[in-house]
Amino acid sequence: MMNWDAVSAVAEVVGAVTVVASLLYLAAQIRQNTSQARLAAQQATIHELGNALRAQAQDREWAGLLSRALEGLDSLDRVERVQFLSHIGSIFRLYESAYHHYQEGALDPRFWRGFERAIADVVGYPGVREALAMRRHHLTDDFSAYLDDLVSSTTPRPIFAEPAGGESNSTA
């Protein structure tokens, strides 16, 4: 005759092993999905920023406008001001998105450090600081506070154009 207590104990052990195996499988799937989501966020952000930078590199007139705008908004007419403010707004929304992806663990810290250095350099330009002063209310409070901390703690280097009065041929 079968001992039902023994059968029940074996069934409980098999059930427990099955639950543990299922949890391990689920953990592996979550890790894989998290990794894929992180990669997708990185690629999307880099792609969008690349598109914006490519546009300014390929259009001489647009690059000229940016070069003037970086030094200050006073040299721009109304249409150019709209173009520049729209462009900077778009760029900073991308940077803000990258910041939040990083804060949530969806952006690799190695990529974030590159973004952070670029942001520090970009906000070093007078025209960008003017634009941010005008459009800061479009940004989240935490990203805006992050920008304040970044500006006060870093020394920017020119990345788009040499500063006014600097006719240097060196690269940043």
Check: pTM over 0.75? Answer yes or no: no
Q: Which residue has better confidence, 5 or 65? A: 65
pLDDT band at 170 (very low <50, low <70, confident <90, very high): very low
Q: Which contacts qualify for 64-68: CB closer than 8 Å, 24 or more apart?
A: 66/160, 66/161, 67/160, 67/161, 68/127
The domain limits of the chain are 37-153
pLDDT of residue 136 exceeding 80: yes
CA angle 76, 50, 68 (to 5 degrees): 15
Q: What average pLDDT is seen over the chain?
A: 83
The 10s digit of each residue's pLDDT in 89-99 is 999 999 999 99
pLDDT at 160: 60
Q: How far apart are CA 108 and CA 97, in angstroms?
A: 13
On the CB side of 7, how many CA atoms lie within 13 Å of its CA?
Answer: 4
The distance of Cα 84 from the centroid of its chain, to the nearest Å, equals 20
The 10s digit of each residue's pLDDT in 34-65 is 777 777 877 887 788 888 778 778 888 988 89
Smallest Cα–Cα separation from 124: which of 150, 90, 102?
150
pLDDT band at 1 (very low <50, low <70, confident <90, very high): low
Average pLDDT over every residue of 115-143: 92
Q: Of 122-126, 151-155, 157-161, give the range with the top mean pLDDT.
A: 122-126
